[in-house]
Structure 1
């Protein structure tokens, strides 16, 4: 809870009461999943995928892409389960250094795709709003016609 976090991080840093790992308040985030291991894996996966962000079209064959995905899963597994951490981190650093340009290019591509998706969603929202307004006008027109017909019928009855 927040009060425990405040007590633990009185000086901005503290150790985990379970595993004694040094923690910083600036890196603290609320747990999203009931199982902390799942939360840890999700966070690690996000960090790994920021570096290993190649796509299927970046590979000449599907097998090479699948090998790349296997490598990602191996890294996530190792980091999540504290297996061979030193070599895994070195492997990531080396990959990041060797593929700096591709990583940056794919980040920009992802940003552009997100912007395009947001624009498409905005257009869809506007079209939906226009349809809603059109239906609303149509309903108002129908109600007005009903009232006029009803009034005309009443006027006919009164004049007869």
Structure 2
């Protein structure tokens, strides 16, 4: 071992020669449920906040990159409507929005009528209206009370 003793903290353990180093990386949505003795053994506890505006826009662009979009679609407006949503929530909204035009097209039609539809009739650009509908159906999975609980936990137990 270079520098430190075998009982030194993790940064010294990275200098072990000829040995494999094991790093444990864990994630939870409920850190307050972790056993206290177990929690103390984790050197770092890092809170990952909900995505900010720039992150939401980047995620929207990533989720929608292979889809045809209405040219008037405004990422900034969509992002503003997704404030407080998790990344997973945003992915679900994008998936739902991408299916809206097809759902409208097949609604009220028989299976036979649906089979006769041309791809061009159901493969329409994703619009702001599609996102409005998707957001109304896909609710936030994290409440303001949850955020307060995470903030209190990280203030008490978090480390950088």
Measured against the shorter chain, the TM-score band is under 0.3
The structure, 1 or 2, with the larger RCO (C-alpha pairs under 8 Å, 6+ apart) is 2
Could you state the TM-score of these two structures normalised by the residue count of structure 1? 0.25
